[in-house]
Amino acid sequence: MKMLRYSFLMTLLLLLPAILFAQKREKKKKEEEKPAVVAPQPVVEDKPVDDVPRNKNAKGTIIEFKPPYNHMLVLAEDDEEGRYRHVFLTDSTLFPKHKVSYNKDKRKPVKPKDLISRSFFRAGMEINFHFDHYQSSLRNVAKEIYLDDDYFGNAKVNGILEFRDGNRAVIDGHEVRLDNGAVIKGEEEWKNKTFTTFNQMQLGAELTVRGRRDTTGVIFVKKGTMRPVDITKDDLMMRRAMNRAMVMNKDVLQIGKETSFRFVTDRNIFAYVNDIGQKLIPEYLKSLDIEHPDFINFKFYLVHDDSFNASAYPNGTVIVHTGLLKQLENEAQLAAILGHEIAHVTQRHHTKSYRNGKDWQAFADFSNVALGTQVSSDIPAQVIQAAKDMKYSSYDRNQETQADRIGLQYMFNAGYDPREAAKIWDKLAREEKNDIESPIEAEALQFAMNASSTGEQRADNNDRAKKMAAMGQSMRKQDFALMMFRNVAAKKGESVYASHPRSRDRYNHVNFLLSTAFAFKDFEKLSTGESEFKNIQSKITAPASTPVPTSTPPGSGSNGPKPPKPLKTPKSKPGGKSFVKPK
Ligand SMILES: [Zn+2]
Protein backbone atom coordinates (compact mmCIF):
# COMPACT_ATOMS: atom_id res chain seq x y z
CA MET A 1 0.00 0.00 0.00
CA LYS A 2 2.80 2.37 0.90
CA MET A 3 4.43 1.79 -2.47
CA LEU A 4 1.18 2.54 -4.21
CA ARG A 5 0.78 5.84 -2.47
CA TYR A 6 4.38 6.73 -3.13
CA SER A 7 4.06 6.00 -6.82
CA PHE A 8 0.94 8.02 -7.02
CA LEU A 9 2.61 10.98 -5.39
CA MET A 10 5.51 10.74 -7.78
CA THR A 11 3.06 10.75 -10.65
CA LEU A 12 1.40 13.81 -9.34
CA LEU A 13 4.63 15.73 -9.44
CA LEU A 14 5.64 14.26 -12.77
CA LEU A 15 2.30 15.23 -14.18
CA LEU A 16 2.64 18.92 -13.54
CA PRO A 17 4.36 19.81 -16.84
CA ALA A 18 1.85 17.66 -18.69
CA ILE A 19 -1.05 19.55 -17.21
CA LEU A 20 0.50 22.86 -18.10
CA PHE A 21 0.95 21.56 -21.59
CA ALA A 22 -2.64 20.34 -21.78
CA GLN A 23 -3.98 23.69 -20.65
CA LYS A 24 -1.95 25.53 -23.24
CA ARG A 25 -3.35 23.26 -25.91
CA GLU A 26 -6.87 23.80 -24.65
CA LYS A 27 -6.43 27.53 -25.02
CA LYS A 28 -5.11 27.12 -28.54
CA LYS A 29 -7.97 24.82 -29.46
CA LYS A 30 -10.54 27.33 -28.24
CA GLU A 31 -9.02 29.96 -30.48
CA GLU A 32 -9.37 27.74 -33.47
CA GLU A 33 -12.96 26.86 -32.47
CA LYS A 34 -12.76 23.33 -33.72
CA PRO A 35 -15.16 20.65 -32.45
CA ALA A 36 -13.59 18.63 -29.68
CA VAL A 37 -13.51 15.46 -31.75
CA VAL A 38 -9.94 14.35 -32.03
CA ALA A 39 -8.18 11.03 -32.03
CA PRO A 40 -6.74 9.84 -28.72
CA GLN A 41 -3.36 11.43 -28.16
CA PRO A 42 -0.48 10.50 -25.94
CA VAL A 43 -0.96 12.65 -22.89
CA VAL A 44 2.24 12.78 -20.92
CA GLU A 45 5.55 13.29 -22.65
CA ASP A 46 7.80 12.50 -19.72
CA LYS A 47 6.18 9.24 -18.66
CA PRO A 48 8.47 6.32 -17.94
CA VAL A 49 9.12 4.07 -20.94
CA ASP A 50 7.71 1.01 -19.20
CA ASP A 51 4.54 2.71 -18.08
CA VAL A 52 2.07 0.72 -20.15
CA PRO A 53 -1.51 1.91 -20.19
CA ARG A 54 -4.25 -0.62 -19.66
CA ASN A 55 -7.69 -0.03 -21.05
CA LYS A 56 -10.36 0.08 -18.33
CA ASN A 57 -14.01 0.90 -17.81
CA ALA A 58 -15.62 1.88 -14.54
CA LYS A 59 -18.71 3.41 -13.05
CA GLY A 60 -18.77 5.88 -10.23
CA THR A 61 -19.98 9.09 -8.64
CA ILE A 62 -18.26 12.41 -9.18
CA ILE A 63 -17.01 13.73 -5.86
CA GLU A 64 -15.24 16.81 -7.06
CA PHE A 65 -14.96 18.52 -10.42
CA LYS A 66 -14.03 22.16 -10.55
CA PRO A 67 -12.67 24.66 -13.06
CA PRO A 68 -10.48 24.34 -15.03
CA TYR A 69 -12.05 20.87 -15.30
CA ASN A 70 -8.88 18.89 -15.92
CA HIS A 71 -9.13 16.56 -12.97
CA MET A 72 -12.02 14.61 -11.52
CA LEU A 73 -12.29 12.90 -8.20
CA VAL A 74 -14.49 9.84 -8.55
CA LEU A 75 -15.84 7.32 -6.06
CA ALA A 76 -15.75 4.17 -8.14
CA GLU A 77 -18.56 1.69 -7.66
CA ASP A 78 -16.27 -1.32 -7.74
CA ASP A 79 -14.16 -0.01 -4.90
CA GLU A 80 -15.54 -1.54 -1.72
CA GLU A 81 -13.25 0.48 0.50
CA GLY A 82 -14.79 3.72 -0.67
CA ARG A 83 -11.53 5.22 -1.87
CA TYR A 84 -11.53 7.94 -4.41
CA ARG A 85 -10.05 7.59 -7.85
CA HIS A 86 -8.25 10.48 -9.46
CA VAL A 87 -9.08 10.75 -13.09
CA PHE A 88 -7.11 13.15 -15.22
CA LEU A 89 -8.72 14.69 -18.26
CA THR A 90 -7.00 15.94 -21.35
CA ASP A 91 -7.93 17.75 -24.54
CA SER A 92 -8.80 14.48 -26.14
CA THR A 93 -11.14 13.34 -23.35
CA LEU A 94 -14.61 13.18 -24.85
CA PHE A 95 -17.88 13.88 -23.04
CA PRO A 96 -20.37 12.10 -25.25
CA LYS A 97 -24.04 11.63 -24.47
CA HIS A 98 -23.68 7.90 -24.95
CA LYS A 99 -20.99 5.27 -24.94
CA VAL A 100 -18.50 5.66 -27.79
CA SER A 101 -17.87 2.70 -30.02
CA TYR A 102 -14.42 1.53 -30.95
CA ASN A 103 -13.12 -0.29 -33.97
CA LYS A 104 -10.21 -2.25 -32.56
CA ASP A 105 -8.40 0.52 -30.70
CA LYS A 106 -9.63 3.30 -32.89
CA ARG A 107 -12.36 5.53 -31.54
CA LYS A 108 -15.21 6.04 -33.98
CA PRO A 109 -15.96 9.68 -34.71
CA VAL A 110 -18.56 11.38 -32.51
CA LYS A 111 -20.73 14.12 -33.94
CA PRO A 112 -20.50 17.48 -32.17
CA LYS A 113 -24.26 17.33 -31.43
CA ASP A 114 -23.66 14.16 -29.40
CA LEU A 115 -21.15 15.85 -27.14
CA ILE A 116 -21.85 17.71 -23.91
CA SER A 117 -19.73 20.41 -22.40
CA ARG A 118 -17.45 19.16 -19.65
CA SER A 119 -18.70 21.92 -17.38
CA PHE A 120 -22.13 20.23 -17.47
CA PHE A 121 -20.78 17.56 -15.13
CA ARG A 122 -21.22 18.15 -11.44
CA ALA A 123 -20.41 16.54 -8.16
CA GLY A 124 -23.03 13.96 -7.27
CA MET A 125 -23.58 12.74 -10.83
CA GLU A 126 -23.14 9.09 -11.62
CA ILE A 127 -20.86 8.53 -14.57
CA ASN A 128 -19.28 5.84 -16.66
CA PHE A 129 -15.70 6.37 -17.55
CA HIS A 130 -13.41 4.71 -20.01
CA PHE A 131 -9.78 5.33 -19.20
CA ASP A 132 -6.16 4.35 -19.58
CA HIS A 133 -4.71 3.08 -16.36
CA TYR A 134 -0.92 3.45 -16.33
CA GLN A 135 0.35 0.43 -14.48
CA SER A 136 3.61 1.81 -13.22
CA SER A 137 2.57 5.31 -12.21
CA LEU A 138 -1.00 4.27 -11.33
CA ARG A 139 -2.29 7.25 -13.21
CA ASN A 140 -5.78 7.24 -14.74
CA VAL A 141 -6.31 9.25 -17.90
CA ALA A 142 -9.90 9.45 -19.16
CA LYS A 143 -10.78 8.77 -22.77
CA GLU A 144 -14.52 9.23 -22.44
CA ILE A 145 -16.82 10.19 -19.63
CA TYR A 146 -20.52 9.68 -20.19
CA LEU A 147 -23.72 9.45 -18.23
CA ASP A 148 -25.92 6.39 -18.04
CA ASP A 149 -28.07 5.85 -21.11
CA ASP A 150 -31.16 6.61 -19.11
CA TYR A 151 -29.94 9.96 -17.89
CA PHE A 152 -31.31 11.78 -20.89
CA GLY A 153 -33.46 8.99 -22.17
CA ASN A 154 -35.23 6.29 -20.25
CA ALA A 155 -35.51 6.39 -16.52
CA LYS A 156 -37.10 3.90 -14.17
CA VAL A 157 -38.05 4.60 -10.59
CA ASN A 158 -39.41 2.14 -8.08
CA GLY A 159 -40.49 3.11 -4.61
CA ILE A 160 -43.14 4.40 -2.26
CA LEU A 161 -45.46 7.18 -3.38
CA GLU A 162 -44.56 9.68 -0.65
CA PHE A 163 -46.24 12.83 -1.88
CA ARG A 164 -48.67 13.71 -4.69
CA ASP A 165 -50.28 16.77 -6.17
CA GLY A 166 -52.13 16.29 -9.48
CA ASN A 167 -49.55 15.34 -12.06
CA ARG A 168 -46.64 15.88 -9.66
CA ALA A 169 -45.37 13.35 -7.17
CA VAL A 170 -42.41 12.24 -5.14
CA ILE A 171 -41.48 8.58 -5.55
CA ASP A 172 -38.42 7.18 -3.80
CA GLY A 173 -37.32 10.75 -3.19
CA HIS A 174 -37.37 11.56 -6.91
CA GLU A 175 -39.46 14.36 -8.35
CA VAL A 176 -41.73 12.92 -11.06
CA ARG A 177 -44.41 14.35 -13.36
CA LEU A 178 -47.03 12.53 -15.40
CA ASP A 179 -46.64 13.15 -19.11
CA ASN A 180 -49.77 13.89 -21.16
CA GLY A 181 -51.58 10.63 -21.81
CA ALA A 182 -49.57 8.70 -19.25
CA VAL A 183 -51.37 5.74 -17.70
CA ILE A 184 -50.53 3.89 -14.49
CA LYS A 185 -51.95 0.37 -14.25
CA GLY A 186 -53.12 -1.10 -10.97
CA GLU A 187 -51.98 -4.49 -9.71
CA GLU A 188 -53.17 -6.86 -6.98
CA GLU A 189 -55.91 -5.09 -5.02
CA TRP A 190 -56.12 -2.45 -7.77
CA LYS A 191 -56.14 -4.99 -10.59
CA ASN A 192 -58.04 -3.87 -13.72
CA LYS A 193 -57.91 -0.25 -12.59
CA THR A 194 -55.99 2.48 -14.37
CA PHE A 195 -54.94 5.90 -13.11
CA THR A 196 -54.23 9.09 -15.00
CA THR A 197 -53.43 11.51 -12.15
CA PHE A 198 -51.52 10.94 -8.94
CA ASN A 199 -54.50 12.17 -6.93
CA GLN A 200 -56.39 8.98 -7.84
CA MET A 201 -53.57 6.88 -6.44
CA GLN A 202 -52.90 5.61 -2.96
CA LEU A 203 -50.27 7.43 -0.91
CA GLY A 204 -47.84 4.88 0.47
CA ALA A 205 -48.40 2.46 -2.42
CA GLU A 206 -45.44 1.07 -4.32
CA LEU A 207 -45.06 2.56 -7.77
CA THR A 208 -42.82 1.55 -10.63
CA VAL A 209 -42.72 4.24 -13.28
CA ARG A 210 -40.87 4.60 -16.54
CA GLY A 211 -40.23 7.76 -18.46
CA ARG A 212 -37.64 10.29 -19.42
CA ARG A 213 -35.39 12.30 -17.16
CA ASP A 214 -34.61 15.78 -18.33
CA THR A 215 -31.42 17.66 -17.48
CA THR A 216 -33.00 19.17 -14.37
CA GLY A 217 -33.38 15.74 -12.84
CA VAL A 218 -37.19 15.65 -13.04
CA ILE A 219 -38.58 12.40 -14.44
CA PHE A 220 -41.48 12.65 -16.90
CA VAL A 221 -43.50 9.47 -16.57
CA LYS A 222 -45.00 7.72 -19.60
CA LYS A 223 -46.27 4.54 -17.95
CA GLY A 224 -46.13 2.57 -14.76
CA THR A 225 -47.76 0.25 -12.26
CA MET A 226 -49.09 0.59 -8.73
CA ARG A 227 -49.32 -2.16 -6.11
CA PRO A 228 -49.50 -2.35 -2.32
CA VAL A 229 -46.16 -2.24 -0.50
CA ASP A 230 -45.10 -5.71 0.41
CA ILE A 231 -44.53 -5.51 4.16
CA THR A 232 -43.04 -8.93 4.70
CA LYS A 233 -43.28 -11.27 7.64
CA ASP A 234 -39.63 -10.49 8.26
CA ASP A 235 -40.37 -6.79 8.63
CA LEU A 236 -43.13 -7.43 11.12
CA MET A 237 -41.03 -9.90 13.09
CA MET A 238 -38.20 -7.43 13.32
CA ARG A 239 -40.51 -4.76 14.66
CA ARG A 240 -42.11 -7.05 17.24
CA ALA A 241 -38.82 -8.50 18.41
CA MET A 242 -37.34 -5.05 18.71
CA ASN A 243 -40.29 -3.94 20.81
CA ARG A 244 -39.70 -6.87 23.12
CA ALA A 245 -35.97 -6.25 23.33
CA MET A 246 -36.42 -2.63 24.41
CA VAL A 247 -37.13 -1.94 28.05
CA MET A 248 -37.73 1.44 29.60
CA ASN A 249 -36.79 1.93 33.22
CA LYS A 250 -36.98 5.47 34.59
CA ASP A 251 -34.55 7.44 32.44
CA VAL A 252 -32.88 4.37 30.96
CA LEU A 253 -33.64 2.82 27.63
CA GLN A 254 -32.28 -0.70 27.68
CA ILE A 255 -31.82 -2.48 24.34
CA GLY A 256 -31.04 -6.13 24.76
CA LYS A 257 -28.61 -7.11 27.48
CA GLU A 258 -25.66 -4.87 26.81
CA THR A 259 -26.88 -1.64 25.36
CA SER A 260 -28.48 1.09 27.35
CA PHE A 261 -28.90 4.80 27.09
CA ARG A 262 -29.85 7.46 29.55
CA PHE A 263 -32.25 9.68 27.76
CA VAL A 264 -32.83 13.35 28.40
CA THR A 265 -35.83 13.51 30.69
CA ASP A 266 -36.45 17.28 30.69
CA ARG A 267 -40.04 17.39 29.50
CA ASN A 268 -39.50 20.41 27.25
CA ILE A 269 -36.48 18.96 25.52
CA PHE A 270 -38.10 15.54 25.23
CA ALA A 271 -41.23 17.03 23.69
CA TYR A 272 -39.25 19.31 21.40
CA VAL A 273 -37.24 16.50 19.79
CA ASN A 274 -40.21 14.15 19.61
CA ASP A 275 -42.49 16.79 18.06
CA ILE A 276 -40.01 17.53 15.27
CA GLY A 277 -39.69 13.81 14.59
CA GLN A 278 -43.48 13.30 14.49
CA LYS A 279 -43.86 16.20 12.03
CA LEU A 280 -41.46 14.49 9.60
CA ILE A 281 -43.30 11.17 9.39
CA PRO A 282 -44.74 10.77 5.89
CA GLU A 283 -48.45 11.38 5.50
CA TYR A 284 -49.32 7.82 4.50
CA LEU A 285 -47.96 6.47 7.78
CA LYS A 286 -49.40 9.23 9.96
CA SER A 287 -52.89 8.41 8.75
CA LEU A 288 -52.70 4.71 9.66
CA ASP A 289 -54.66 3.38 12.60
CA ILE A 290 -52.60 2.09 15.48
CA GLU A 291 -54.12 -1.38 14.88
CA HIS A 292 -53.06 -1.40 11.23
CA PRO A 293 -50.29 -3.96 10.57
CA ASP A 294 -48.22 -1.38 8.69
CA PHE A 295 -48.41 1.10 11.55
CA ILE A 296 -45.00 2.11 12.91
CA ASN A 297 -44.87 3.59 16.37
CA PHE A 298 -42.19 6.25 15.86
CA LYS A 299 -40.52 7.52 19.04
CA PHE A 300 -37.64 9.93 19.24
CA TYR A 301 -35.19 10.06 22.13
CA LEU A 302 -32.33 12.38 22.85
CA VAL A 303 -29.74 10.35 24.77
CA HIS A 304 -26.66 11.33 26.74
CA ASP A 305 -23.70 10.44 24.56
CA ASP A 306 -20.98 12.75 23.37
CA SER A 307 -20.45 11.20 19.95
CA PHE A 308 -21.89 12.76 16.81
CA ASN A 309 -24.36 10.04 16.01
CA ALA A 310 -27.96 9.05 15.55
CA SER A 311 -29.55 5.68 14.89
CA ALA A 312 -32.87 4.14 14.01
CA TYR A 313 -34.43 0.81 14.92
CA PRO A 314 -36.94 -1.14 12.83
CA ASN A 315 -39.76 -0.58 15.36
CA GLY A 316 -39.52 3.18 14.78
CA THR A 317 -37.36 4.10 17.75
CA VAL A 318 -34.95 6.83 16.72
CA ILE A 319 -32.08 7.84 18.97
CA VAL A 320 -30.18 11.11 18.74
CA HIS A 321 -27.01 11.64 20.76
CA THR A 322 -26.53 14.86 22.69
CA GLY A 323 -23.10 15.10 21.02
CA LEU A 324 -24.87 15.46 17.68
CA LEU A 325 -27.45 17.95 18.89
CA LYS A 326 -24.73 20.15 20.38
CA GLN A 327 -22.98 20.36 17.01
CA LEU A 328 -26.04 21.38 15.01
CA GLU A 329 -27.00 24.97 14.35
CA ASN A 330 -30.76 24.93 14.02
CA GLU A 331 -33.98 22.94 14.00
CA ALA A 332 -33.87 22.31 10.25
CA GLN A 333 -30.55 20.51 10.67
CA LEU A 334 -32.04 18.32 13.39
CA ALA A 335 -34.95 17.65 11.03
CA ALA A 336 -32.45 16.60 8.35
CA ILE A 337 -30.90 14.05 10.70
CA LEU A 338 -34.27 12.75 11.91
CA GLY A 339 -35.66 12.63 8.36
CA HIS A 340 -32.72 10.51 7.29
CA GLU A 341 -33.25 8.09 10.20
CA ILE A 342 -37.01 7.89 9.55
CA ALA A 343 -36.27 7.02 5.93
CA HIS A 344 -34.14 4.05 7.06
CA VAL A 345 -37.22 2.78 8.89
CA THR A 346 -39.82 3.51 6.19
CA GLN A 347 -37.62 1.87 3.54
CA ARG A 348 -37.17 -1.15 5.84
CA HIS A 349 -33.39 -1.08 5.46
CA HIS A 350 -32.89 -3.17 8.59
CA THR A 351 -34.67 -6.19 7.19
CA LYS A 352 -32.96 -5.77 3.86
CA SER A 353 -29.53 -5.48 5.51
CA TYR A 354 -30.15 -8.53 7.61
CA ARG A 355 -31.35 -10.50 4.66
CA ASN A 356 -28.42 -9.46 2.49
CA GLY A 357 -25.96 -9.88 5.33
CA LYS A 358 -23.74 -12.82 5.88
CA ASP A 359 -25.39 -13.81 9.12
CA TRP A 360 -28.33 -15.72 7.71
CA GLN A 361 -28.51 -18.03 10.69
CA ALA A 362 -28.81 -15.17 13.15
CA PHE A 363 -31.66 -13.77 11.15
CA ALA A 364 -33.39 -17.14 10.93
CA ASP A 365 -33.12 -17.58 14.70
CA PHE A 366 -34.33 -14.08 15.22
CA SER A 367 -37.36 -14.72 13.03
CA ASN A 368 -38.24 -18.08 14.53
CA VAL A 369 -38.04 -16.88 18.07
CA ALA A 370 -39.96 -13.73 17.38
CA LEU A 371 -42.73 -15.64 15.63
CA GLY A 372 -42.95 -18.56 18.03
CA THR A 373 -46.19 -18.70 19.93
CA GLN A 374 -44.53 -20.40 22.87
CA VAL A 375 -42.59 -17.24 23.69
CA SER A 376 -43.32 -16.30 27.27
CA SER A 377 -42.98 -12.89 28.79
CA ASP A 378 -39.28 -13.58 29.16
CA ILE A 379 -37.21 -12.07 26.45
CA PRO A 380 -35.55 -14.99 24.70
CA ALA A 381 -31.78 -14.83 24.49
CA GLN A 382 -31.79 -14.96 20.69
CA VAL A 383 -34.02 -11.94 20.45
CA ILE A 384 -31.78 -10.04 22.77
CA GLN A 385 -28.82 -11.13 20.74
CA ALA A 386 -30.50 -10.08 17.54
CA ALA A 387 -31.49 -6.76 19.03
CA LYS A 388 -27.96 -6.32 20.24
CA ASP A 389 -26.65 -7.13 16.77
CA MET A 390 -28.86 -4.44 15.32
CA LYS A 391 -26.21 -1.84 15.92
CA TYR A 392 -23.73 -3.83 13.86
CA SER A 393 -25.96 -4.23 10.86
CA SER A 394 -24.77 -1.26 8.91
CA TYR A 395 -26.51 0.09 5.89
CA ASP A 396 -24.93 -0.09 2.48
CA ARG A 397 -24.06 2.88 0.36
CA ASN A 398 -27.23 2.72 -1.72
CA GLN A 399 -29.36 2.65 1.39
CA GLU A 400 -27.57 5.69 2.78
CA THR A 401 -28.06 7.54 -0.48
CA GLN A 402 -31.74 6.59 -0.52
CA ALA A 403 -32.15 7.72 3.10
CA ASP A 404 -30.53 11.06 2.26
CA ARG A 405 -32.76 11.49 -0.80
CA ILE A 406 -36.00 10.59 0.97
CA GLY A 407 -35.05 12.32 4.22
CA LEU A 408 -34.59 15.53 2.27
CA GLN A 409 -38.17 15.21 0.99
CA TYR A 410 -39.48 14.56 4.51
CA MET A 411 -37.89 17.72 5.86
CA PHE A 412 -39.01 19.77 2.88
CA ASN A 413 -42.62 18.56 3.23
CA ALA A 414 -42.56 19.43 6.92
CA GLY A 415 -41.59 23.00 6.02
CA TYR A 416 -37.85 22.94 6.70
CA ASP A 417 -35.21 24.44 4.44
CA PRO A 418 -33.43 21.42 2.90
CA ARG A 419 -30.29 23.45 2.25
CA GLU A 420 -29.54 23.02 5.94
CA ALA A 421 -28.89 19.31 5.29
CA ALA A 422 -26.03 20.21 2.96
CA LYS A 423 -24.59 22.52 5.60
CA ILE A 424 -24.25 19.69 8.11
CA TRP A 425 -22.11 17.62 5.76
CA ASP A 426 -20.11 20.60 4.65
CA LYS A 427 -19.29 21.49 8.24
CA LEU A 428 -18.35 17.92 9.08
CA ALA A 429 -16.20 17.60 5.98
CA ARG A 430 -14.29 20.71 6.96
CA GLU A 431 -13.77 19.52 10.51
CA GLU A 432 -12.60 16.14 9.31
CA LYS A 433 -10.13 17.86 7.08
CA ASN A 434 -8.83 20.09 9.84
CA ASP A 435 -8.20 17.04 11.96
CA ILE A 436 -5.33 15.77 9.91
CA GLU A 437 -3.23 18.76 9.30
CA SER A 438 -0.30 20.17 11.14
CA PRO A 439 0.70 23.49 9.53
CA ILE A 440 3.37 21.80 7.46
CA GLU A 441 1.05 19.01 6.42
CA ALA A 442 -1.50 21.58 5.38
CA GLU A 443 1.12 23.20 3.17
CA ALA A 444 2.01 19.85 1.65
CA LEU A 445 -1.59 18.86 1.07
CA GLN A 446 -2.43 22.18 -0.52
CA PHE A 447 0.64 21.79 -2.68
CA ALA A 448 -0.55 18.42 -3.89
CA MET A 449 -4.04 19.69 -4.62
CA ASN A 450 -2.74 22.72 -6.47
CA ALA A 451 -0.62 20.58 -8.74
CA SER A 452 -3.51 19.99 -11.09
CA SER A 453 -5.24 23.32 -10.71
CA THR A 454 -5.19 26.89 -11.92
CA GLY A 455 -2.21 29.04 -12.83
CA GLU A 456 -2.79 31.16 -9.76
CA GLN A 457 -2.64 28.13 -7.51
CA ARG A 458 0.47 26.87 -9.23
CA ALA A 459 2.16 30.22 -8.65
CA ASP A 460 1.12 29.84 -5.03
CA ASN A 461 2.90 26.51 -5.02
CA ASN A 462 6.28 28.15 -5.56
CA ASP A 463 5.83 29.96 -2.28
CA ARG A 464 4.63 26.82 -0.57
CA ALA A 465 7.57 24.83 -1.86
CA LYS A 466 9.96 27.48 -0.50
CA LYS A 467 8.18 27.42 2.87
CA MET A 468 8.31 23.65 3.01
CA ALA A 469 11.95 23.60 1.97
CA ALA A 470 12.72 26.04 4.77
CA MET A 471 10.93 23.80 7.26
CA GLY A 472 12.73 20.78 5.89
CA GLN A 473 16.07 22.58 6.01
CA SER A 474 18.63 20.65 4.02
CA MET A 475 16.17 18.45 2.14
CA ARG A 476 15.36 19.12 -1.45
CA LYS A 477 11.97 20.69 -1.59
CA GLN A 478 10.46 17.94 -3.70
CA ASP A 479 11.77 15.19 -1.48
CA PHE A 480 10.41 16.99 1.49
CA ALA A 481 7.04 17.54 -0.11
CA LEU A 482 6.90 13.85 -0.95
CA MET A 483 7.71 12.89 2.57
CA MET A 484 4.97 15.13 3.88
CA PHE A 485 2.47 13.75 1.40
CA ARG A 486 3.25 10.29 2.62
CA ASN A 487 2.71 11.33 6.20
CA VAL A 488 -0.60 12.86 5.36
CA ALA A 489 -1.60 9.87 3.27
CA ALA A 490 -0.58 7.41 5.96
CA LYS A 491 -2.57 9.30 8.56
CA LYS A 492 -5.64 9.39 6.43
CA GLY A 493 -5.24 5.79 5.31
CA GLU A 494 -6.47 6.97 1.96
CA SER A 495 -5.06 8.53 -1.16
CA VAL A 496 -3.22 11.79 -1.25
CA TYR A 497 -6.06 14.07 -1.96
CA ALA A 498 -7.78 12.29 0.85
CA SER A 499 -9.18 15.42 2.39
CA HIS A 500 -12.45 14.17 0.93
CA PRO A 501 -13.96 11.72 3.38
CA ARG A 502 -17.49 10.51 3.19
CA SER A 503 -18.97 13.73 4.58
CA ARG A 504 -17.74 15.54 1.49
CA ASP A 505 -19.31 12.80 -0.60
CA ARG A 506 -22.66 13.25 1.11
CA TYR A 507 -22.45 17.01 0.91
CA ASN A 508 -22.03 16.71 -2.84
CA HIS A 509 -24.89 14.29 -3.18
CA VAL A 510 -27.29 16.47 -1.18
CA ASN A 511 -26.20 19.50 -3.17
CA PHE A 512 -26.79 17.62 -6.40
CA LEU A 513 -30.34 16.81 -5.27
CA LEU A 514 -30.94 20.42 -4.31
CA SER A 515 -29.88 21.58 -7.75
CA THR A 516 -31.93 18.95 -9.59
CA ALA A 517 -34.95 17.43 -7.82
CA PHE A 518 -35.42 20.66 -5.84
CA ALA A 519 -34.37 23.00 -8.63
CA PHE A 520 -37.63 24.92 -8.87
CA LYS A 521 -38.62 24.94 -5.23
CA ASP A 522 -38.80 28.14 -3.29
CA PHE A 523 -36.68 27.76 -0.18
CA GLU A 524 -36.98 31.31 1.04
CA LYS A 525 -40.21 30.87 3.00
CA LEU A 526 -39.04 27.69 4.68
CA SER A 527 -38.03 27.59 8.29
CA THR A 528 -34.65 26.93 9.86
CA GLY A 529 -36.02 27.37 13.41
CA GLU A 530 -32.96 28.82 15.03
CA SER A 531 -33.98 30.63 18.20
CA GLU A 532 -35.98 27.86 19.85
CA PHE A 533 -33.33 25.35 18.88
CA LYS A 534 -30.58 27.40 20.54
CA ASN A 535 -32.76 27.72 23.60
CA ILE A 536 -33.19 23.94 23.83
CA GLN A 537 -29.53 23.36 23.08
CA SER A 538 -28.49 25.55 25.99
CA LYS A 539 -30.67 23.56 28.39
CA ILE A 540 -28.95 20.22 27.81
CA THR A 541 -27.00 19.29 30.89
CA ALA A 542 -25.13 16.16 31.88
CA PRO A 543 -27.32 13.49 33.48
CA ALA A 544 -27.56 13.31 37.25
CA SER A 545 -24.81 11.08 38.59
CA THR A 546 -27.06 8.58 40.35
CA PRO A 547 -26.23 5.01 39.35
CA VAL A 548 -28.14 3.78 36.35
CA PRO A 549 -30.57 1.04 37.29
CA THR A 550 -29.77 -1.56 34.67
CA SER A 551 -32.89 -3.43 33.87
CA THR A 552 -31.87 -7.00 33.43
CA PRO A 553 -34.16 -9.11 31.32
CA PRO A 554 -35.63 -11.92 33.39
CA GLY A 555 -34.07 -15.30 32.86
CA SER A 556 -30.93 -13.96 31.29
CA GLY A 557 -28.74 -15.38 34.01
CA SER A 558 -27.17 -12.08 34.95
CA ASN A 559 -25.69 -11.61 38.42
CA GLY A 560 -27.18 -8.27 39.18
CA PRO A 561 -26.88 -4.82 37.71
CA LYS A 562 -23.95 -3.87 35.55
CA PRO A 563 -23.01 -0.44 34.31
CA PRO A 564 -24.59 0.15 30.94
CA LYS A 565 -22.44 0.28 27.83
CA PRO A 566 -23.16 2.85 25.18
CA LEU A 567 -23.97 1.82 21.66
CA LYS A 568 -20.88 0.92 19.69
CA THR A 569 -19.03 4.16 19.33
CA PRO A 570 -17.50 4.89 15.98
CA LYS A 571 -13.82 4.40 15.31
CA SER A 572 -11.84 7.55 15.71
CA LYS A 573 -9.21 8.45 13.25
CA PRO A 574 -5.67 8.46 14.60
CA GLY A 575 -5.04 11.75 16.29
CA GLY A 576 -8.44 13.04 15.33
CA LYS A 577 -11.74 13.85 16.90
CA SER A 578 -14.41 11.38 16.14
CA PHE A 579 -16.96 12.78 13.81
CA VAL A 580 -19.28 10.17 12.55
CA LYS A 581 -22.10 10.33 10.15
CA PRO A 582 -25.42 9.28 11.56
CA LYS A 583 -26.05 5.77 10.37
ZN1 LIG B 1 -28.02 6.45 7.50
The string over 412-449, giving b where at least 16 C-beta atoms fall within 10 Å of a residue's C-beta and e elsewhere, is bbbebbbbbbbbbbbbbbeebbebbbeebebbbbbbbb
Assess whether 502 and 413 both reside in one domain. no
- CA of 423 from ligand 1 middle (Å) equals 17
Residue 564 lies in a domain: no
Domain housing 20: 2-147
Assess whether 369 and 468 both reside in one domain. no
Assess whether 178 and 266 both reside in one domain. no
- CA of 483 from ligand 1 middle (Å) equals 37
Assess whether 313 and 459 both reside in one domain. no
- CA of 397 from ligand 1 middle (Å) equals 9
Residue 574 lies in a domain: no
For residue 395, pLDDT over 70 is answered with: no
Residue 572 lies in a domain: no
- Report the number of distinct structural domains present in the chain: 4
Give residues whose Cβ lies within 5 Å of ion ligand 1: 400, 403, 583
Amino acid at 258: E
Exposure of 541 in the CB half-sphere (CA atoms within 13 A): 6
- CA of 321 from ligand 1 middle (Å) equals 14
Is pLDDT larger for residue 428 or for residue 540? 540
> In this predicted model, what pLDDT tens digit does every residue of 110-166 receive, in sequence order?
888 888 888 888 877 788 999 988 776 667 889 999 987 656 667 889 999 999 998
- CA of 524 from ligand 1 middle (Å) equals 27
Q: Which of 125, 147, 169 is the last residue of a domain?
A: 147
Assess whether 211 and 314 both reside in one domain. no
Assess whether 189 and 54 both reside in one domain. no
Distance (Å, rounded) from C-alpha 429 to C-alpha 63? 12
* pLDDT, the chain, mean: 73
pLDDT of the residue at 2: 42
> In this predicted model, what pLDDT tens digit does every residue of 445-497 receive, in sequence order?
555 555 444 556 556 666 666 665 565 443 444 455 455 544 444 444 333 33
The single-letter DSSP state of residue 141 is E
- CA of 18 from ligand 1 middle (Å) equals 41
Residue 354 lies in a domain: yes
> In this predicted model, what pLDDT tens digit does every residue of 258-305 receive, in sequence order?
678 999 999 999 999 999 999 999 999 998 898 888 899 999 999 999
CA 154 to chain centre: 24
Residue 546 lies in a domain: no
Assess whether 366 and 469 both reside in one domain. no
CATH label of the domain that carries residue 209: 2.40.50.140
Helices (H) and strands (E) in the chain, counts: 16, 19
Distance (Å, rounded) from C-alpha 526 to C-alpha 146? 36
Phi, psi of 184 (to 5 degrees): -110, 130
Amino acid at 370: A
Residue 190 lies in a domain: yes
CATH label of the domain that carries residue 71: 2.40.50.320
- CA of 121 from ligand 1 middle (Å) equals 26
- The whole-number average pLDDT for the span 570-581 is 32
Structure confidence at residue 388 as a pLDDT band (50, 70, 90): low
Assess whether 13 and 79 both reside in one domain. yes
* Pairing assessment for the beta strands 252-255 and 246-249 based on DSSP bridges: antiparallel
From its phi and psi, is residue 505 left (phi > 0), alpha (psi between -120 and 50) or beta?
alpha
Contact between 147 and 128 (Cβ < 8 Å): yes
Distance (Å, rounded) from C-alpha 517 to C-alpha 174? 6
Assess whether 317 and 379 both reside in one domain. yes
